Structure formats: C-alpha cells, structure tokens
Amino acid sequence: MKVIVLGAGIVGVTSAYQLARAGHEVTVVDRQPGPALETSFANAGEVSFGYCSPWAAPGIPMKAMKWLFMQHAPLILRPKVDMAMLSWMTQMLRNCTSARYALNKSRMLRLADYSRISLAALRAETGITYDERMQGTLQLFRTEAQLDASAKDVKALAADGIPYEVLDPEGCIRVEPALKHVREKIVGGLLTPKDETGDCFKFANALAAKAAALGVTFNYGSIIRGLDVDGGRVRGVVTAHGVLAADAVVVALGSFSPLLVRPHGIRLPVYPVKGYSLTIPITDPARAPESTVMDETFKIAITRLGDRIRVGGMAEISGYTNDLGEPRRLTLQHSVTDLFPGGDVSKASFWSGLRPMTPDGTPVIGPTRVAGLFLNTGHGTLGWTMSSGSARVIADLVSGRKPEIDATDLAVARYA
C-alpha cells in the first residue's frame, strides 16, 4: 500500500522504517527541515523500559498542590480559557485511583517491554550507534517517604516480571560511584537494570537514513493542511504543496495530532505538557553519572550521553507555547549541580519540547473510525522508550496482521 506517515519525530521515523520493512511504499511528511527537530530533539535521553509509570497516580492531586508552591517545582500550571486543557486535566484526575493506576501501568509496561525487545532487534539489524548505554535507571530517593511510596511501583514491576532492585545508599553508590560525594543527601533508590540511555536525535537521524535506503520518501518543510477523507475513508493528505494520495495514513504528530483529526469526529485527548532540558559538557567524569539518575524530589532525569550530561524534566501545562523560562533553567541546574557537579553549566544549551500526554499515560496506537486512518501518538515522556515497539505494532495493524502483543486497549476507542 501507499502509506503516509505524518511526523518525523522518533515515533514517526520508527513507524516509517517498520512500514517499509513490511513492504509498503512509505512517505513521511513533516514541517521541519529534518527528522527529530521538535519533541525528540533534546529529551532526557532515558530509554526507560522499567521506569515507566502514569503521571496520574493516587496522591498526585495533593502532591500537585504542594508542588505549585515550591521554588524548584516539578509541576507548573498556567491556567487559561482552554476547554481542551480543562477536559484533559479532568480526565487525568479521574485516573488518579489505585485501580486505574495499576491498569494503566500494566499497559505501559507491556508496551515498554515489547519495545525493549524491538529496539535490541533493530540495533542488531542496523548497527546504529547513538551514545547508547545499557546500565539501567536509578530512581533516587532523598527522603524516607519517597522510598516508602515506591512500594506500589515495586509491586507493579514484580507483577509484570520486570527486573528491579531496591537499594540502600551504599547500593546507589555502587551503581553510580559519583554519588559518594553526596552520600548524606540520599536514603535509597530503585534500580531498573534493563533500562538504557541514548541520544534520541542521533538515533532518529541514523534510522531515517536507513529508512531512506529502504525507499522511504521524506517530504521535509511541508506544511500539513488536513486530511482528505471521502466516504468514511482517508484518501490522502492535504499539504501546502497539494494533495498526497494514500491508501493509509499514520498520524504521529505528537501534541498536534488532536488538531488534525478533530474535524473528522475523532476525540483524541492528547495535550501538550512542556518539558525542559539542559545539555552540559562533562568536565570531570568522576563527578558525572554513568547512566540515568531520576531525582525523585524534582522529577528530573540526569543522563550520561557520551561526553555530555543531559538534564531533563518538569511538567508545564501551558498550552502550545515553547518559550524558555529562566526559572526552569535554574531548577534543572540546581538538581544536577546538587548531585553531579561534573559538568560546565555555563556552557549548557537550554531547550524545551511539548510532550504529547494522554490522561491515563498510555499512548494511543491503532485504527480510528475513519477507514485507513491510524494513530501512533500520545507517548508523553516515553516516546523514545516506546517508539520501537509502537512502530512494530502500527506496522502490523496497517498491514492487517495481528500484533505480537495485545494492542486492543491501546486504540483511541478506549476513550469512547
């Protein structure tokens, strides 16, 4: 079939590659001049197969109220007259129950573990390198309350057979030796040893080149105007340069996906939650992380990417804005220098991106009410983590094959 993939971020590029491998004639359309230049450009660098949890969790509403008044807040809310924002926040609050948290986390872990297998196969098949490391994620606790609260995550990991290790401070130092300099600041940690790290931008560009070698056409600098739908079936994509005909269309536009499909009666509760990052050159490797450390107090990930430290995190609910606020930079800087002062923050590059979040934390992957129109979006902070598995699922669904994992509860129909 002729398949158009809308979006050249990490989810779009991996989807295009897998669709081409399945034998389809694939075209990728993106407004940017190259791949992975928006949300995938400078994310936290985590490939977190074990450390993946819904943001909607028991106790989050009360924590959110406290966070709003913190100097270095992990959550920033800028309310506005926006029905999409209000609806999304209302649905998220409904998912802050123990039962829904367990259900949503099980979905996420299922897809993440499949993505772990898929990424390993893809890496072996292509030989792609991207500053990758396979040394796990350490969720670092500064208080006993944080350590106690991790019990629900440990329970979910155990139930799904995901390897983990609860560590005391000495165990944390064994995993991340640079923490010996701040031994008094930590009480313990939760290690998910199968997690990986890597530069998403480097990976996406390398895979786009592999996809092009398979025959995928990349239409960069192309503005998407809408979908060509007739008789309940998608016929193509309307761009600023004309209409591109297609037998199937995969929407992988991240936070912008709902805006495209809404005119066709598809209610897609994906909303942008802005995250920030710093990329810092390493000056003292002995005081830099070895892999990813998740600073639970500030919800900030500190990741080693070759000779750089990537510091990413925070959740700002402010709509489709991409401005860079200096207070956010200071929060990132505070977290990393407090634990790993092994980089030159004066030479750091500051970035922000719009994460496409669903109210339940689970991405939306699968068919829609419009024949031939598929969604692969809403991955939130885990697009890099889940991209390889999501791509194989969508390639199977577009091809009319049954995916290797249960994907029925990932489709947009769950919101009906």
Annotated binding residues for FAD, written as ranges, equal 3-17
Closest residue by Cα to residue 320 from 114, 118, 39: 39
Closest residue by Cα to residue 375 from 385, 358, 363: 363
Beta strands of 282-390 (E only): which ranges?
A: 292-295, 300-305, 308-317, 349-357, 364-367, 373-377
How far apart, in Å, are the Cα atoms of 86 and each of 64, 259, 260, 340? 16, 16, 19, 38
Q: Residues 291, 282: contact at Cβ < 8 Å?
A: no
What is the Cα–Cα distance from 284 to 340, expressed in whole angstroms? 9
Q: What single string gives the DSSP state of each residue in 345-374?
A: GGG-EEEEEEEEE-TTS--EEEE-SSBTEE
Query: How many Å from the N-terminal Cα to the C-terminal Cα in the chain?
Result: 29
Spatial strand order in the sheet of 373-377: 217-219, 25-29, 2-6, 248-251, 373-377, 364-367
One-letter identity of residue 20: A
Closest residue by Cα to residue 5 from 376, 353, 258, 367: 376
What is the Cα–Cα distance from 8 to 202, expressed in whole angstroms? 13
> What percent of the chain is helix, strand and coil (3-state, nearest 5)?
40, 25, 35
Please report, in range form, the residues annotated as the binding site.
3-17
What is the Cα–Cα distance from 301 to 312, expressed in whole angstroms? 5
Please give the structure tokens belonging to residue 132: 């990758």
Reading phi first (left if > 0) and then psi (alpha if -120 to 50, else beta), residue 231 is in: left
Which residues fall within 8 angstroms of residue 127, CB to CB, at 6 or more apart? none
DSSP code for 187: -
